[in-house]
Amino acid sequence: MKIIDGKKISSDIRLEIKTKVEKIKRTTGKTPGLATILVGQNPASQVYIKSKIKACQDAGIKSFHHNLDEKVSKEDIIALINDLNKNSDVDGILLQLPLANNEFDKDCINAINPLKDVDGLHPFNAGLLNLSKSWNEVIKKNILVSCTPLGVIDLLNKSNISIEGKTAIVIGRSNLVGKPLSILLLANNATVIMAHSKTKNLKELCINADIVVAAIGKPKFVTKDFIKEGTTVIDVGINRTSDGLCGDVDFESIRGMDINITPVPGGVGPMTITMLLENTLKAFKNRI
């Protein structure tokens, strides 16, 4: 078993980002800025936001945080977003999801200026990604892509794990992970199967795949029966259980197999925040 060390890869990329930010400051006199919006007091969301703010500080990126009451109206959230859209010091806007009232999610996301949409969830950016024919096109056009899928591709590339020609199965079809990751894998010339809760013969599909991505939100759902020797397993899940944090993959059941695997924690998670910093730099460059 070979562990794909997301912490180490993420740390290396953050050092590169810090160097890029310092160069931007020297050459333009400007500092990239990220605004975060948290609605309510969800403990998990608070932890995520604190991590993102600290990562910005470490990289030299300005951080503007806004914590709103959970009873805030949709109109007030959108009013704040509109103010941030107009603020020239803010290059990226991150609305921490889910909102206390998730009926607001879509309208609030759509209110974000697509050029500042560092989560890659605005229909404009999702459309650009969907219309891209290749990974090179995604890079060349500086498209703002959802951070977790972007982090997964970086993990594979920096671990020298080939994607081209491989069969990849993504378990999960969310707008945040499953759908954009499937498109990115396709852009990297994989043959992609998008699976979900209604997929029949899931084990059989997985065991014939070269890359298995678990993003279904069910603790230890993927077991040894899903995996063949030589597979790369990407565990996107972060589940809080009575035994602590665990992923969507039953790590212990596949211990000892000849596979590449991301651990939980320390795999995809650190890369998600790192890609948020990367997207903030993209947003800065797209606006100048």
- Closest of 267, 276, 263, 262 to residue 58, by C-alpha: 276
Cβ(233)–Cβ(259) under 8 Å?
Answer: yes
Write the DSSP symbol of residue 216: S
Distance CA 194, CA 182 (A): 7
Reply yes or no on whether 41 is catalytic.
Answer: no
Write the DSSP symbol of residue 103: G
Tell how far CA 219 is from the center of its chain: 19
Write the DSSP symbol of residue 117: B
Strands (E), 146-210: 167-171, 191-195
Catalytic residue among 5, 91, 117, 119: 119
Catalytic residue among 5, 96, 116, 166: 96
Reply yes or no on whether 52 is catalytic.
Answer: yes
Catalytic residue among 20, 52, 116, 179: 52
Cβ-Cβ contacts under 8 Å for 239 (sequence gap 6 or more):
217, 218, 219, 245, 246, 247, 248
> What string of DSSP letters covers 10-49?
HHHHHHHHHHHHHHHHHHHS---EEEEEEES--HHHHHHH
130 to 119, 134, 242, 261: CA distances (angstroms): 15, 10, 39, 27
Total residue length of the chain: 288
Distance CA 234, CA 125 (A): 24
Reply yes or no on whether 119 is catalytic.
Answer: yes
| Active-site annotation, residues | 52, 96, 119
